[in-house]
Amino acid sequence: MKYQEYNNLIAVGVALVAVVLVLVWATMAAASNGGPTTTQPAGPAHMYLTIQINPVTGWPQYSPANFTVPAGEVVFTIVDYDSPMNWTSCTCNVNGTVGGTETVNGTSYSVVSNANVAHTFDIPSLHLNVMSPGMSTVTFAVDVTQAGTYTWMCVTPCGTNGYTGGAMSTPGYMSGTMTVV
């Protein structure tokens, strides 16, 4: 073997080693950068609603009244700052939620006491019925797969003049829309 040939062989060998090293590095980089996709599921979306007395009208009001949530499971939290109200004609069965329950201040119920039902959150087309006791925090989950716009409403005779009062008859207070996308 001539000296020049020997040198060429060395050069080819070095080049091959370099190529192998680059391939090994690329494979490891791909693996550490989520090569095989093992990402955690994001978990359910959250929607936060509050019920407060509107300072101008004096009527209780859900906020936001019109909102958008993603399709699939969504966890709702309703913080109700309104006063407790006894609603003796309420059967108060939780309906249409994941598991058929809601939590009131952290305790799970399938039937809520009618001794305190300041408001409800109802979507008749989904058979959803959730009670919101005054001065409490309610959580529940819904799982709506069908995109669309759903009308929600409170069915408690809340606010001044009950069923015929402004809060119940004016959209944006005790009724609104939930858009599922």
- DSSP secondary structure string for all residues of 1-61: --HHHHHHHHHHHHHHHHHHHHHHHHHHHHHHTTSS--PPP---EEEEEEEEE-TTT--EE
Q: What residues from 118 to 147 belong to the interface with Cu ion (CB under 5 A)? A: 119
174 binds Cu ion (CB under 5 A): yes
Decide if 158 contacts 123 (C-beta within 8 A): no
- Stretches 29-37, 83-91, 104-112, 151-159: which one binds Cu ion (CB under 5 A)? 151-159
**Closest to 73 (Cα-Cα) out of 23, 25, 144:** 144
- Stretches 9-17, 18-26, 104-112, 167-175: which one binds Cu ion (CB under 5 A)? 167-175
Q: What residues from 65 to 124 belong to the interface with Cu ion (CB under 5 A)? A: 119
Cα–Cα distance for residue pair 126/172, rounded to 1 Å: 20
Distance in Å, CB of 81 to Cu ion, minimum: 12
Cα–Cα distance for residue pair 134/116, rounded to 1 Å: 7
DSSP-derived 3-state class of residue 169: helix
Cβ closest to Cu ion, residue 96 vs residue 159: 159
Cβ closest to Cu ion, residue 130 vs residue 174: 174
Using CB under 5 A as the binding criterion, the count of chain residues that bind Cu ion stands at 5
Q: Which of 49, 104, 123, 158 binds Cu ion (CB under 5 A)?
A: 158
- Stretches 8-16, 22-30, 66-74, 168-176: which one binds Cu ion (CB under 5 A)? 168-176
Cβ closest to Cu ion, residue 97 vs residue 156: 156
Site residues (CB under 5 A) for Cu ion? 119, 154, 156, 158, 174
